[in-house]
Amino acid sequence: MKSPLSVALLALTALLAGPAVAQDYKSGIEWQEPPVVTPGPTNSEPPSDAVVLFDGTDMSAFTGGKWEVKEGAVYSGKGYVTTKQEFGDMQLHVEWSAPTVVKGNGQGRGNSGVYIMGKYEVQVLDSYDNPTYFDGQAASIYKQTPPMVNAMRKPGEWNTYDIFWTAPRFKVNGDVETPAYVTVVHNGILVLNHFELMGPSSYTDAPHYKVHGPTGPISFQDHGNPVRFRNIWVRELHPPVGRRVSPPYVMSGGKKMSVADYTAQKERQKKDKALQREKEAAVKAAVKAALQEFEAKQAAKQAAADAAAAAAAEAADKAEAAADKPK
């Protein structure tokens, strides 16, 4: 059971704290509703806003190269194939399979490549038990970085690449404003996380940027190996759209406050609370000391009374004994 003292102190604390005030941070940005996109039946299949580049039937989205479509897949053949449409920032899904019959080794086994904006190669290679230089294995950015891990499936099995691309931006004078970034998920495994590219891929040259437009086509490499591809689709990326209508603010007890005022108010409240806690502790200590003093006095009184009673009883006993003594 709570003592009357602690009940009184709790009531006092609640009274001093005052009623709770609702607070609600607002960014001051008026966001447009994000468009609704219907996902595919599985995460490998194109969602409703995807541009399908190859659905297993025809290569009409591409130009160049002589690549054969067979049994729902396209086999890399002579020459590069390149999309007619150009893309900038995007999410690109590609499925590919290294030849079932393993031929060659190193860079000569199951080599192809996804050339983003026609320049930046995400390597396609049969990297299943096939040593080569690490920044040239599957899912590397060719000669710039290896993938974090080797997530290859066996030759003949289907691999998926989900590539998230941020195109480089250039200043009017041709200097790089922001470089290209790429994130690659290989068979559901994150293998490159927001990697910053140093420039286009080259076999001979050190990578360095040369100014180009905000979009470019996607090319698939002919490296002389019959790599199969299927289910290629791309989504153009548009950031969420918002308009700042005011600086950020806080709704506090129905009133609009600037973030600075709100922060200062919170600091003041924190200091007031600490002070309040100190005062409460002092009151509690004083009350406790007074109680202890009172109890000690009571105990001393009781002890004195007990001692007097005992002495009286002893005296009575003695008197009784003396009276009983035979004379």
Window 172-211: contact mask with Mg ion (x via CB under 5 A): ----------------------------------------
**113 near Mg ion, rule: CB under 5 A:** yes
* CA–CA dist 217, 236 (Å, integer): 12
Kind of pairing between the strands at 219-220 and 249-252: unpaired
Neighbours of 246 (CB within 10 A): 12
Helices (H), the chain: 4-17, 259-324
Please state the closest distance from residue 140 (CB atom) to Mg ion, in A. Answer: 9
Applying CB under 5 A, what is the total number of residues that bind Mg ion?
3
| Lookup result for tokens 């009357």 | 4
Q: Which is nearer to Mg ion, 25 or 133 (CB)?
A: 133
- Minimal CB distance to Mg ion: which residue? 113
Q: Which is nearer to Mg ion, 121 or 262 (CB)?
A: 121
Q: Which is nearer to Mg ion, 107 or 252 (CB)?
A: 107
Q: Which is nearer to Mg ion, 46 or 155 (CB)?
A: 155
Q: Which is nearer to Mg ion, 165 or 262 (CB)?
A: 165
Q: Which is nearer to Mg ion, 50 or 122 (CB)?
A: 122
Please state the closest distance from residue 124 (CB atom) to Mg ion, in A. Answer: 6
Site for Mg ion in 221-240 (CB under 5 A): 221
Please state the closest distance from residue 155 (CB atom) to Mg ion, in A. Answer: 16
Please state the closest distance from residue 122 (CB atom) to Mg ion, in A. Answer: 9
Please state the closest distance from residue 115 (CB atom) to Mg ion, in A. Answer: 9
Residue type, 203: Y
Rounded to the nearest 10°, the torsion over CA 104, 107, 109, 113 is: -160
40 neighbors 160 (Cβ within 8 angstroms):
no
Q: Which is nearer to Mg ion, 76 or 111 (CB)?
A: 111
Please state the closest distance from residue 111 (CB atom) to Mg ion, in A. Answer: 5
147 neighbors 132 (Cβ within 8 angstroms):
no
Q: Which span sits near Mg ion by CB under 5 A: 109-117, 201-209, 244-252, 269-277?
A: 109-117
Please state the closest distance from residue 108 (CB atom) to Mg ion, in A. Answer: 11
Query: First CA to last CA across the chain, in angstroms?
Result: 64
* CA–CA dist 306, 235 (Å, integer): 95
178 neighbors 46 (Cβ within 8 angstroms):
no
* CA–CA dist 174, 172 (Å, integer): 5
**136 near Mg ion, rule: CB under 5 A:** no
* CA–CA dist 144, 195 (Å, integer): 10
* CA–CA dist 194, 148 (Å, integer): 12
Q: Which span sits near Mg ion by CB under 5 A: 47-55, 152-160, 218-226, 298-306?
A: 218-226
Q: Which residues bind Mg ion (CB under 5 A)?
A: 111, 113, 221
